[in-house]
Amino acid sequence: MITGDLLIKGSRFSRPHRHIVANALTGAPLDGAFSRASAQDVRHACQAASEAFEEFRNSPLMARGDFLERVAQELELAMPRLSRRASEESGTTVEQIRTELMKCSAHYRAFGEFLHRAHFSLPKRSSPTHRSSERTWIRERQAPLGPVAVFGADSCVFAAASVTENAAAALAAGCTVVLRAHPTMAGTSELFFHAVHRALVACGMPAGTYSLIGGDDPAIDACLIGDSAISAVAFIGTREERERITGWATRRPTPIPVFSEMRVQNPNFLLPGYLGRDPLTLGRLMIGSIRESGARPSTVSSLLFAADIDALEPFIESARSALLQVPAKNFRLSQDAHAGFEQHVAKLLALPGVSLAARGDESLKDRCIPVFLLTDAKTFLETPVLHEEIVGPCCLIVTFQSAAEMQALAHGLDGQKSVGVEFHGNEDELLVRGLIPILERKAGRILANQWPGTDQDDDTSVEQSNGASMSRAADRNETVERYLRPVPYSNVPDSLLP
């Protein structure tokens, strides 16, 4: 049952100031009125997380692994109700939500299995140093940072959301979590919390390990990040949100790290050899990448750099034809997101040098009509607004006429989770050799002839979050270690080491 209460240290707290969550598609109010946390409530949740941290950080890795695997089980058991509520609050179809939730549970299970094999929290290095005739032994332990503030997202529901990778990694590292529910996903956040709490109780973990605070007051965010008990922040969102959150985190008396997953375009470079070989098939592949952008805008490619050759026109026409075959349900967005999408597209089309290359089925009602926009490299490089993410089914195609223009486009990119390069033949390989050194400085992952979001990417889809492959234990270890810090112990007797 959704109560709308704050959930701190296993207890419910009801507050008089509440907000209603609306159905994302119809605007009708949904069940539950959700309490607005006060500054005292935030302090209470952070203090509970701090107290629980002292016990949770010292829990055996096997016990922590069992807990995360139990979270995965509870999420799967809660899937029917959780999927329905998340669909109502986000505007995403139930089928898509189920897919997201399965990936979310897979993340928690994978982190649990990883802990059953990991040894990162033990003293990991032992080396002698010499000072005069004495020998000093230095040992290093990876220690958890402390309580982590995790911010829930609106459009990225489960698979790419902070409640998945960041929260699971923080818990795996031995950090406690305070979840800040997004106001538009308050009911989903509460149901998600219940699944985690059931796992806490079943595994005997301290009650303050995971708390939920919410409300429609933005001041809650600054209060949470500014609390002295919080040691790190994790969120997924826009660049503007990152700047605001990072500002709060760095202006504290003791600054703390911010681990942010940006909503970015995940661009693709379409080189002339590949485009000229089979433009019709490539057009269909692009639709496979953007067709679910209403559900997961941060994991699809919405920016395409294409060689300006004769094959470009049939490529666009093929993509448009394939687009008309995609079910209308793939283009659902919430009312607010839909309005924002239409305004953003209209703003771009009003710019000099930007034109409409293709448009989806105009008969779609209450759906975002997908669009392809077209511009050239010079216009893109000189127009900062074209670099902004478009939340919704839109792809901006930017043409280039030379290797120099292509490299200038790569240099002009902001940081990306992934960048794709589609190439074929010796001539394209020469272009790629000049492109990859630039992309290494821009992207977390470089895909070669592997369009993100399509069936070609299935081998990493379950273990993928926002373009960062999580398919190997080494990658998972790196994600966990962001919530750890090395602590050297010099000449401390073995009996006193943690």
As a whole number of angstroms, the distance between CA 115 and CA 14 comes to: 36
C-alpha dihedral (99, 291, 90, 185), degrees to nearest 10 = 70
Between vectors from CA 67 to CA 66 and to CA 70, what angle results, nearest 5°? 85
CB 68: neighbour CB atoms within 10 A? 25
422: β partners: 270
- What pLDDT is recorded for position 135? 59
DSSP secondary structure string, 302-351?
Answer: -EEEEE-STTHHHHHHHHHHHHTTS-GGGG---HHHHHHHHHHHHHHHTS
Q: Dig out the tokens for 41 from the structure.
A: 């409530």
- What pLDDT is recorded for position 328? 56
DSSP secondary structure string, 435-453?
Answer: HHHHHTTTBS-EEES--TT
Three-state secondary-structure class, residue 498 = coil
Q: Give, in order, the Cα–Cα distances in Å from 10 to each of 208, 268, 339.
A: 7, 46, 39
Residue identified by tokens 């607010």 is: 336
- Contact by Cβ (8 Å): 393, 353: no
- Contact by Cβ (8 Å): 312, 286: no
Tell me which DSSP letter residue 416 carries.
B
As a whole number of angstroms, the distance between CA 239 and CA 224 comes to: 19
As a whole number of angstroms, the distance between CA 62 and CA 115 comes to: 6
Q: At what angle do helices 425-439 and 403-411 cross, to 10 degrees?
A: 30
Flag residues of the chain having pLDDT under 50: 122-123, 125-126, 130-133, 292-299, 454-474
- Contact by Cβ (8 Å): 169, 111: yes
Burial class (CB in 10 A: 0-12, 13-18, 19+), 281: exposed
As a whole number of angstroms, the distance between CA 300 and CA 145 comes to: 32
Q: Which helix or strand (DSSP H or E) is residue 148 part of?
A: strand 148-151
End-to-end CA distance of the chain: 41
- Contact by Cβ (8 Å): 21, 32: yes
34: β partners: 19
As a whole number of angstroms, the distance between CA 375 and CA 222 comes to: 39
As a whole number of angstroms, the distance between CA 180 and CA 162 comes to: 10
Structure confidence by residue, pLDDT tens digits, 204-257: 999 999 999 999 998 999 999 999 999 999 988 777 788 899 999 999 999 999
Between vectors from CA 345 to CA 344 and to CA 349, what angle results, nearest 5°? 120
Structure confidence by residue, pLDDT tens digits, 323-354: 777 665 556 666 777 788 889 999 999 999 99
- What pLDDT is recorded for position 202? 97
As a whole number of angstroms, the distance between CA 466 and CA 198 comes to: 28
Q: Characterize the bridge pairing of strands 419-422 and 446-448.
A: parallel
Burial class (CB in 10 A: 0-12, 13-18, 19+), 482: middle
As a whole number of angstroms, the distance between CA 86 and CA 192 comes to: 10
Domains of the chain: 6-263+468-496 (3.40.605.10), 268-451 (3.40.309.10)
Q: Dig out the tokens for 368 from the structure.
A: 């975002």
Tell me which DSSP letter residue 494 carries.
G
As a whole number of angstroms, the distance between CA 197 and CA 67 comes to: 10
- Contact by Cβ (8 Å): 139, 494: no
Q: Which helix or strand (DSSP H or E) is residue 8 part of?
A: strand 6-8
Between vectors from CA 387 to CA 381 and to CA 390, what angle results, nearest 5°? 150
Taking alpha carbons only, the member of 272, 54, 281 closest to residue 174 is: 54
